[in-house]
Amino acid sequence: MTRRLVVVGGVAAGMSAASRARRLDPDLEVLVFEAGPHVAYGACGLPYFLAGMVSQPEDLLAYPLDSFRRERNIHVYPRHRVLSLDLEHKLVRVRAGSTDFSIPFGRLVLSTGAEPLRPDLPGADLAGVFTLRTLADGVAIRDYVRAQEPRRAVIVGAGYVGLEMAEAFSRLGMTVTLLEKAGQVLPGWDAHLAGELAKAARAAGVDVRTGAPLQAMEGTTRVRSVTFGGGSAPADLVLLALGVRPAAGLAAAAGLRLGAAGAIEVDLHQQTSHPDVFAAGDCAQTRHLVTGSPAYIPLGTTANKQGRVAGANAAGGNEEFPGVVGTRVVAIFGLEAARTGLTEAEAAAAGMDPVTAEVEQTATAGFYPGPGPVRVHLAVDRRSRRVVGAQMLGAGGVSGRINTIAAALQGHWTIDELSSLDLGYAPPVAPVWDPILIAARAAERVLEGENRADQ
């Protein structure tokens, strides 16, 4: 049997897997097939590339392609699309240009990522209508912007990418309309925090339209306008930022089991339903450490960690990726918004009995000139007193604090444990009662008040 490891997909999870396998087993043959032209890049940097803050697409590469071949002895093949998997005979079928070939594998890591959702609506194929997922997508948008000099951009979907791109296009001087079919930006977040973010976007000149589902894109060859529930807008460029679904087609066709949200089912070893096949990154499910259930939360941070574990185990190791708490940060329009764990609605849907304490406290000592208040929403389960999630918003001092709550979630802490946490204090960086502690104490008082009312 061949000892060859084949990795399908070479962005984040795939290159992490290949690198880790190589490190643990210097004799293993490691091949990576990537359908696109680039490998090992950080897709989360694309809005900054498009805003002109990163000059070369190559600056988003974690490592140049050559370094894998020369320094790590990893055979990386861009523009090689894997067409199918034959798990019985342990072969992958690959297309490179006009040539197809099959190659045997001993172990396989699937890191095929996610695909952007595209609506089945008139005009979706017009020139000037884009999605933004890969570095090639980013280069295509940049080239279009350079060649066509669009003045009016419509972004459809006000999630992280939609919001970041609204800021990026604004920086380029475009007039930006941001459409969101839900009643708020960042659907799923607490409405009040999302509303503050929308306010900041509007203050920066973005025409934010919520409750505004996309209906059609119009134009002859190039897009010229967009129609949505509630109106229409001229558009020289349309970005569809409607979210993603796992690119699990190859896995499904090969008979591998799918799990949460149609992502590839894996266990804590990142092993799929076939013992020689591992999956990692945006194509794979993960485990939510607050609910204990499978979840699909595609993020680059998770992809890298899962990739390392998949690569280690594909090389004969025995490592586990315990799961995620779903920590996310977005920094736009002068604000940092972050969440970790479950919202109150998600906790209720998971069978918990949640309540949310909402506080506002300065990020620094009150007398010290700083970024002003941090708003904290802390969701707690009444029965167990466990912290189940948090959301934060402020001009600064947010990301470090959400990470601290992420650690509390990972440790299954109660609010009482959180309220005794020994946090650093110095007037330029925090008040003596940190916003985290204020929120934990507020949650204690909420439960205290409720218990008293029960008596």
List contacts with a second copy (CB under 8 A). Answer: 12, 42, 44-45, 48, 53-54, 59-60, 289, 299-302, 304-305, 321-322, 324-331, 336, 338, 340, 365, 367-369, 397-404, 406-408, 410-411, 413, 417, 420-430, 432-434, 436
User: What interhelical angle do 65-72 and 13-24 show, nearest 10?
Assistant: 10
**Nearer residue to a second copy within complex by CB, 105 or 160:** 160
**Number of CB atoms found within 10 A of residue 55's CB:** 8
- The contacts of residue 32 (CB under 8 Å, 6+ apart) are 6, 7, 9, 10, 14, 15, 18, 39, 68, 74, 75, 76, 77
Return the structure tokens found at 44: 């989360």
What tokens appear for 174 in the block?
């475009």
List b or e across 99-117, with b for residues whose CB sees 16 or more CB atoms inside 10 angstroms: eeeeeebebbbbbbbbbbe
Which residues have CB under 8 Å from 231's CB, separation 6+? 209, 212
Distance CA 428, CA 118 (A): 46
Q: CB of 308: closest distance to a second copy in angstroms? A: 9
- The DSSP element (H or E) to which 226 belongs, if any, is strand 223-228
- Toward a second copy, which CB reaches closer, 67 or 399? 399
When the beta carbons of 213 and 371 are compared against a second copy, the nearer one is: 371
The angle at the Cα of 439, spanning 363 to 287, to the nearest 5 degrees, equals: 105
Sequence length of the chain is: 455
Q: Which of 264, 402 has the CB closer to a second copy?
A: 402
CB of 440 to a second copy, least distance (A): 11
Minimal distance, residue 400 CB to a second copy, in Å:
1
> Which residue number, 231 or 427, has a Cβ lying nearer to a second copy?
427
Q: How far apart (Å, rounded) are the C-alpha atoms in residues 154 and 238?
A: 5
**Closer residue to a second copy in complex, CB, 163/217:** 163
- Closest separation in Å from C-beta 403 to a second copy: 5
Between CA 345 and CA 181 the distance in angstroms is 19
Which residue has 């959400």 as its token pair? 402
Let me know if 159 is exposed, middle or buried by CB neighbors in 10 A (0-12, 13-18, 19+).
Answer: buried
Q: Which of 24, 44, 204, 447 is catalytic?
A: 44
Cβ 325 to a second copy, closest distance in Å? 5
Residue 386: CA count within 13 A, CB half-sphere: 20
Is 44 a catalytic site residue?
yes
Least separation in angstroms between residue 77's CB and a second copy is: 24
> Least distance in Å: CB of 405 to a second copy?
8
State the Cα torsion 290-293-299-305 to the nearest 10°.
90
CA–CA gap between residue 41 and residue 59 (Å, rounded): 9
* Token pair for 274: 């076939």
Residue 298 C-beta: closest distance to a second copy, Å: 13
Half-sphere exposure of 421 (CA within 13 A, CB side): 24
Closer CB to a second copy, 2 or 451, in the complex:
451
102 versus 301: smaller Cβ distance to a second copy: 301
Burial class (CB in 10 A: 0-12, 13-18, 19+), 452: exposed
Active site residues: 44
